[in-house]
Chain A
Amino acid sequence: MAARTKGFAIADAAPAARQAPGVAVSLRGLEHSYGELRTIERLDLEAPAHGVLGLVGPSGCGKSTLLELIAGLQEPTAGDVELDGSRDRPDRLARCALMPQRDMLLPWFLAIDNAALSLRNRGVRRRQARDEAGLLFERFGLAGFERARPAELSGGMRQRVAFLRTLLSGKPVLALDEPFASLDAITRAEMQAWLAKALGQDPRTVVLVSHDVEEALYLSDRVAVLSARPGRVVEQLSAPAPRARDRDAAVTDPAFVAVRERAMQALRGTR
């Protein structure tokens, strides 16, 4: 593994004061294929610093591959992936944290140690890593669950721990792969509001993949609708702003509903 970087020297800073530097993501003329199979074709997308870019599209349209390209886990076949002006794969790996589709909590670690994984990887001592993660547990509604085993947590709780794990990496770019796909509708709505709040308090540049148009629009500043494989951008929509604080109010706002329907139409066209 060539790309071993020390990440960012954020571990020492007080978490409340921590502000990830703004980093823009830019994809230009991006192409990717696995051998003969073309997964992504001539893709151009931008996410401004601290902006949230949503990606929706039919399954198998290369959304997860796109996140892996951004996170520096893969190289494009052609075109550029730029994070903060660098196309280097190790730089991307150092600047982006991935939250995979399933929570991937490690069952042999306590919830708090799962959240603190990136700190531990960077050599922070366990005590200090737990202290730092503990502050976020309190801020994000997980107080009291620090010493729980992942198996003892509900789906929503697990997803929160997984997100905190991603956030605690201190990386300026977060790649979220259908973070709430496995949750029931009510927990999911709760988690969307929770995530919006979390990003409000600790803004990062986010690339969010979702199969749920409403979720993508609610959480993102812009949503790109991707075509079936090979994936390319069919339409880009701006989420209506400003959004109501309350999630239910936001997603039932007529302006929001109108954009959602346009996105749905674009998505239907991809089939």
Chain B
Amino acid sequence: MRRWLLPVLVLVALVGAWQLAASSGALAGALHLEEFLVPSPAEIASALWENRGLLAENAWVTLREVLLGLLCALAAGLGFAVLLHLFETLRRAVYPLLVASQAIPILVVAPILVVWFGYGIGPKLAIVALICFFPIAVNALDGLRSVDPEAVKMMRTLDASRRQILWRVEAPTSLPYVFSGARIAAAVALIGAVFAEWAGSDSGLGHMILQDNAQLQTARVFAAVLVLAGIAIVLFALLALAERRIVTWR
């Protein structure tokens, strides 16, 4: 409780200052903008409430892209990490390429994917999965490789097979790494989904932001951004909860 007090106070102060600056017209004046372009927190809150149906509908679209994309990235990233871990030659051949592939700005590829796969959920999943794959795969691989070699030696003299060493020693060791990879992935997944929607879509929070922005519906843009932030926070909280439930030995 105590540790929340200060951040909450700071947040209240910031929002209050924004409210004052926006409702008095000082903020719009300083930015040389029309007042309706600079919504106050109160206006954003009412936009949030009035458009709750529309926001929920679009949030569900984006959330689905994020969750399915994350799941694909988890399955592919973990599988990939295990393969690279088990086959040293494969790792030496592929790992440098994997790292180098990060130089490709995947978000920029989004329009091409839309050309290829159309306006459906396909290209969104591809973008989200692609950008989430790297942090998950690299963290999982680092985790698998962080195992104490003494533990592996001990297991070998206790008749463990390669698979038993993987499941009983290496996989549990790598779990905290996998979770931190998943946290990074969850954060970039939302950005990926929004970018993918910008590249071409007919629904979703990213789509909504783009349209509202064009129509100068700034309060609703902020409302959509708030919903996106809310989704991110919930995802983080769920991951933290899962980690606490699963990694009980830390």
Q: Complex: how many Å from CA A73 to CA B248?
A: 32
Q: Is the CB of B155 within 8 A of A121?
A: yes
A42: CB under 8 A from chain B? Answer: no
B162: CB under 8 A from chain A? Answer: yes
Q: A3, A4, A72, A101 — which one has the most chain B CB atoms within 10 A of its CB?
A: A4
0/1 string, A103-129, CB within 8 A of B gives 1: 010111100000001101110000000
What distance in Å separates the Cβ of A54 from its nearest Cβ neighbour in chain B? 20
Q: Which of A14-22, A92-100, A202-210, A212-220 contacts B (4 or more CB under 8 A)?
A: A92-100
With A108-B172, A118-B158, A121-B158 given, is the CB distance from A98 to B153 under 8 Å? Answer: yes
Q: Complex: how many Å from CA A195 to CA B31?
A: 79
Q: Which residue from B150, B168, B248 sits with its C-beta under 8 Å from A104?
A: B150
SS of A interface (majority): loop
Q: Which residues of A contact B168 (CB under 8 A)?
A: 106, 109, 117, 120-121
Q: Which residue of A lies closest to B171 (CB)?
A: A108
Q: Is the CB of B151 within 8 A of A68?
A: no
What distance in Å separates the Cβ of B160 from its nearest Cβ neighbour in chain A? 5
A1: CB under 8 A from chain B? Answer: yes
Q: Is the CB of A106 within 8 A of B172?
A: yes
With A106-B168, A107-B249, A149-B249 given, is the CB distance from A122 to B150 under 8 Å? Answer: no
0/1 string, B152-183, CB within 8 A of A gives 1: 01111111111011001100100000000000
18 contacts between A and B (CB under 8 A): A1-B156, A3-B156, A93-B157, A94-B159, A100-B150, A104-B150, A106-B169, A106-B172, A109-B168, A117-B155, A117-B160, A117-B168, A118-B159, A120-B168, A151-B249, A166-B158, A169-B157, A171-B157
User: Residues of B at under 8 Å CB distance from A?
Assistant: 148, 150-151, 153-162, 164-165, 168-169, 172, 248-250
